[in-house]
Amino acid sequence: MADERMNRISTGIKGFDGLVGGGFPEGAMVLLTGLPGVGKTIFGMQFIYNGARKGENGVYICIESSPAELKSQAAMFGMDFDAVEKEGRITFLRIPKGNVRFNLFQMISDAVNRTGAKRIVFDNVATYMVSLGRFVALWDETLSDVNEKARNMQIKDADGQMIVYSIIEQLKSLGRTCIVITHGDESGAKLTSDGISEYLCDGIVKLDIVELGREPTRIIKVTKMRQTKNTLELREFEITDRGIEVG
Ligand SMILES: Nc1ncnc2c1ncn2[C@@H]1O[C@H](COP(=O)(O)OP(=O)(O)O)[C@@H](O)[C@H]1O
Ligand SMILES: [Mg+2]
């Protein structure tokens, strides 16, 4: 049953918080899934930015785009990330490319603890998996065997699931409100391409583009949210010059 007194972490995304009882449950691990181009990164940026604007620090971990690219995309939606970054409210962590050994989880937990971040976005776990062999980025030392296989590009589904499991469980252990972004499965048969993260998370938000007769329409659905009476309704949304707005 929903506990009305529970602290809710507002996304500040117009029309969204009402779908989840006012915001995500504090400390929840939320999976944000959908095919490329649906708006996952924009959603994640708005979540972090709107938090920072009201004093809740955030850490944004990015892989496919650089912080500079993300900031200039965000500026198109009126978000001035340079300003909040200067105030120390937002920290971007870019997973380094190249032949470096480092402990990614350590890097994230150091940044979260140093800045007292309440919000984390990991963008995104699917790209991280694909890039493992090229980046030689370790999630943590206990997975060195899996990382070794990844370097030799012999990574199997089961190894991939083990890494995803480790990422989600360790991020959860930080106790902050966290959005983990992943790719949807092309066939639509599964919620995620890894086939496991949907079971590990407290909440799932799915973005999609569907053809509803006339023109393609963006839709959003909250398929799972712990301690929340979510509506399970499909809602249309738009990406306007203020970012994502749910109708
Ligand atoms: N300035 C803008 N105004 C409206 N829509 C935009 C703008 N910039 C990008 N978009 C839309 O946002 C989409 C990309 O969103 P993004 O969050 O990066 O997707 P994802 O992370 O799911 O791959 C683009 O495909 C485009 O449709
Ligand atoms: Mg993206």
pLDDT > 70: what percent of the chain?
85
Ligand 1 centre to CA of 136 (Å) is: 29
Nearest to 155 by CA among 173, 179, 180, 128: 128
Q: Would the pLDDT of 133 be above 80?
A: no
CB 36 near ligand 1, within 6 Å: yes
Structure letter (DSSP) for residue 103: B
Ligand 1 centre to CA of 39 (Å) is: 5
Lowest-confidence pick of 116-120, 143-147, 157-161, 222-226 = 143-147
Q: Which two tokens stand for residue 5?
A: 């007194």
Q: How far apart, in whole angstroms, are the C-alpha atoms of residue 228 and residue 42? A: 24
Nearest to 115 by CA among 55, 29, 66, 189: 55
H-helix or E-strand spanning residue 50: helix 40-53
Among the bound ligands, the one closest to the CA of 124: 2
Q: How confident is the model at residue 1 (pLDDT cuts 50, 70, 90)?
A: very low
The pLDDT tens digits of the residues spanning 91-108 come to: 999 887 655 666 788 999
Q: How confident is the model at residue 127 (pLDDT cuts 50, 70, 90)?
A: confident
What top-level class would CATH report for the domain 8-246?
A: alpha beta
Q: How far apart, in whole angstroms, are the C-alpha atoms of residue 57 and residue 184? A: 28
- Choose which residue among 128, 239, 240, 241 to substitute to test ligand 1 binding: the one with the highest number of ligand atoms within 8 A of its C-beta: 239
CB 126 near ligand 1, within 6 Å: no
Spacing of C-alpha 129 from chain mean position: 14
Q: How confident is the model at residue 163 (pLDDT cuts 50, 70, 90)?
A: confident
Total-model pTM? 0.91
Contacts of 206 (CB under 8 A, 6+ apart): 33, 34, 184, 191, 220, 221, 222, 223
Q: How far apart, in whole angstroms, are the C-alpha atoms of residue 198 and residue 141? A: 25
CB 239 near ligand 1, within 6 Å: yes
Q: How far apart, in whole angstroms, are the C-alpha atoms of residue 105 and residue 122? A: 11
Q: How confident is the model at residue 159 (pLDDT cuts 50, 70, 90)?
A: confident
Ligand 2 centre to CA of 64 (Å) is: 8
Residue 27 CB-density burial (10 A; 0-12 exposed, 13-18 middle, 19+ buried): middle
Q: What is the mean pLDDT of residues 154-158?
A: 67
Q: Would the pLDDT of 120 be above 60?
A: yes
CB 179 near ligand 1, within 6 Å: no
What mean pLDDT value characterizes the chain?
A: 87
Q: What is the mean pLDDT of residues 161-182?
A: 91
Q: Interior CA angle at 33 toward 30 and 36, to 5°?
A: 145
Nearest-CA residue for atom 26 of ligand 1: 37
CB 176 near ligand 1, within 6 Å: no
Among the bound ligands, the one closest to the CA of 62: 2
120 touches 59 (CB < 8 A): yes
208 touches 35 (CB < 8 A): yes
- Choose which residue among 33, 38, 69, 244 to substitute to test ligand 1 binding: the one with the highest number of ligand atoms within 8 A of its C-beta: 38
Nearest to 179 by CA among 89, 50, 81, 86: 50
Q: How confident is the model at residue 153 (pLDDT cuts 50, 70, 90)?
A: low
Q: Give phi and psi for 154, each to the nearest 5.
A: -115, 30
Q: Which two tokens stand for residue 231?
A: 């509506």
